[in-house]
Structure 1
Amino acid sequence: MQRLEGKSAIVTGGGGGIGGATCRRFAQEGARVAVLDRDEAAAQRVADEIRSGGGQAIAVRCDITERASVDAAVAQVVQAFGGVDVLVNNAGWDVFLPFTKTVPAQWEQLIAINLTGALHMHHAVLPHMVERKAGRIVNIASDAARVGSSGEAVYAACKGGLVAFSKTIAREHSRHNITVNVVCPGPTDTALFADYKKGAGNPEKLEEAFRRSIPLGRIGQAGDLPGAIAFFASDDAAYCTGQVLSVSGGLTMNG
């Protein structure tokens, strides 16, 4: 049984590692997928791959930091699919430096992408879900939001804010049958993690230290995340809202 059969889904950052894997999983689960990304070519590659496999997908260029771009993208998805059943806020960006080595311009960009961008998406999509009295929102935060992470102070602050925001929106919109849940990846082998390692004096040593600290003994892969995301997007999680789940190989164990 395909858990997302007949559902329409938006995935931001859909052209990247975790986003692309999520888009492909959603299509396998029967969803019509809108692959949103600032990099239109990356989004198109994912959408083309889904369609070549028999799924339904469209690529939509969207800069989540610009409200006009968000509104245009959501309108395009609604026109193509007739509505939005699932929103996955996955797009993210980071600067890997000690806080005192960062500058305000970097803070502003980090906040714009990792927090304000998600606010834009919620604000644009929620009215459509409220009108239909149904919806699933899955926000991708980070274990940095739960336990902190050296060199990621502002990123962690944004993701912590996203967790708190998610719980509040879950409360505000429970009466509309809209659920809001959060998935927190741990270290995951994506382009973002590659950038993180570049900031280290010895990237191989850093990666090995991460691997030793993870109980399951390996760095996460992009394909490790979509199962949890799809669960929260499906009716299997109809009675779950305001919850935060780490997918980190046991690196963090919060209960």
Structure 2
Amino acid sequence: MNIQAKAQGAKAARPLAGKVALVTGSTSGIGLGIARALAEAGSAVVLNGFGVVSEIAKVRDRIEADYGVKVSYSSSDMSRPEAIAEMIAATIVGHGRLDVLVNNAGIQHVAPLDQFPVEKWDAIFAINLSSAFHTTRLALPAMRQNKFGRIINIASAHGLVASPFKAAYVAAKHGIVGLTKVAALETAEEGITCNAICPGYVYTPLVEAQIDGQAKAHGISSEAVIHDVLLAQQPNKRFATVEELGALTVFLASDAAASITGVALPVDGGWTAH
């Protein structure tokens, strides 16, 4: 195998080598799965989120050991614009660049619209939507400087369709899809793309706890909760996995996706095909 072929093989195996990725809400669940996938693809990674400091340190050390990339951590609160600004600045100072931004941080609350707590509405919008505005506006100068950037917003099937009792979440996720389109249009000639991933239900520890709770509350089996309650709208009747979302994120962050921008990609087992 000649030197050029070896170089091409290495790039295919680690398409994000030399890049720096920031993933908000990445100390567990979907965000952590995406961070691992980006690291495996060769990118340095900045983790963000809440949790036990010692446990987060173990996660960071494990990713570094498994994939041989630099991993740092920011505890910045995504509901505070000044904290977001500090995180972006620290990323650029600490790593020298910022190539991939994954806006994943999010919270949820379920209640009828006329009973929805105002403070929950405000918190959901701050973390699920406004944080992505702040990270994006602050990351763009560094991306423009390098003439390369990938902004990937983790929206939801609820960014495309609605469900009862989730007014704030549905409205915020629809907002994320709109923000994605605007960012894509404004950066289309600058080597920067912006896309949204719209998962249906994804199997995480949080969803696992929901299954157990609903089974006890309704007196039905876990299998019935999965098939008839949680996945009622998903024709394929299976959860997406964090690995699937990680693989899609890596693709969108790679050179191969340079012409894909401004789209909302459902990963929902056919939910939004109804």
Counterpart position of 1:51 = 64
Following the alignment from structure 1 to structure 2, what is the Cα–Cα distance between the partners of residues 208 and 128?
45
Counterpart position of 1:31 = 43
Distance 1:206 1:213, change over 3 A: same
| TM-aligned CA deviation for residue 48 of structure 1 | 1.6
Farther-moved stretch of structure 1 (102-111 vs 215-224): 215-224
| TM-aligned CA deviation for residue 174 of structure 1 | 1.3
Counterpart position of 1:137 = 151
Counterpart position of 2:234 = 214
Counterpart position of 1:9 = 21
SS of alignment partner, residue 252 of structure 1:
helix
**Partner of residue 236 from structure 1, selected from 227, 247, 256:** 256
Q: Amino acid of the residue matched to residue 227 of structure 2?
A: E
Counterpart position of 2:103 = 89
Counterpart position of 1:186 = 200
| TM-aligned CA deviation for residue 100 of structure 1 | 2.4
**Alignment length (residue pairs):** 254
| TM-aligned CA deviation for residue 212 of structure 1 | 5.4
Verify the 8 A CA contact 2:107 2:127 in the aligned structure 1: yes
Q: Report % sequence identity.
A: 33
Following the alignment from structure 2 to structure 1, what is the Cα–Cα distance between the partners of residues 170 and 209?
16
Q: Amino acid of the residue matched to residue 66 of structure 1?
A: R
Following the alignment from structure 1 to structure 2, what is the Cα–Cα distance between the partners of residues 70 and 15?
16
Verify the 8 A CA contact 1:43 1:61 in the aligned structure 2: no
Distance 1:195 1:158, change over 3 A: farther
| TM-aligned CA deviation for residue 214 of structure 1 | 2.7
Farther-moved stretch of structure 1 (73-82 vs 157-166): 73-82
Following the alignment from structure 1 to structure 2, what is the Cα–Cα distance between the partners of residues 224 and 175?
29
| TM-aligned CA deviation for residue 144 of structure 1 | 0.8
| TM-aligned CA deviation for residue 53 of structure 1 | 1.1
Following the alignment from structure 1 to structure 2, what is the Cα–Cα distance between the partners of residues 139 and 106?
21
Following the alignment from structure 1 to structure 2, what is the Cα–Cα distance between the partners of residues 213 and 243?
22
SS of alignment partner, residue 33 of structure 1:
strand
RMSD: 2.1
Structure 1, gaps ≥5 residues long: none
Structure 2, gaps ≥5 residues long: 1-11
Following the alignment from structure 2 to structure 1, what is the Cα–Cα distance between the partners of residues 160 and 136?
22
Following the alignment from structure 1 to structure 2, what is the Cα–Cα distance between the partners of residues 94 and 192?
11
Q: Amino acid of the residue matched to residue 207 of structure 1?
A: I
User: Are residues 1:64 and 2:84 paired?
Assistant: no
Following the alignment from structure 1 to structure 2, what is the Cα–Cα distance between the partners of residues 229 and 178?
15
Which of structures 1 and 2 has the bigger CA Rg? 2
Counterpart position of 2:121 = 107
Kindly provide the CA deviation profile for residues 118-175 of structure 1, in whole angstroms up to 9, marking residues without a partner as x. Answer: 1111121111112222201000000011111222121010000010011011101112
Following the alignment from structure 2 to structure 1, what is the Cα–Cα distance between the partners of residues 172 and 261?
20
Q: Amino acid of the residue matched to residue 157 of structure 2?
A: D
Counterpart position of 1:251 = 271
| TM-aligned CA deviation for residue 227 of structure 1 | 1.1
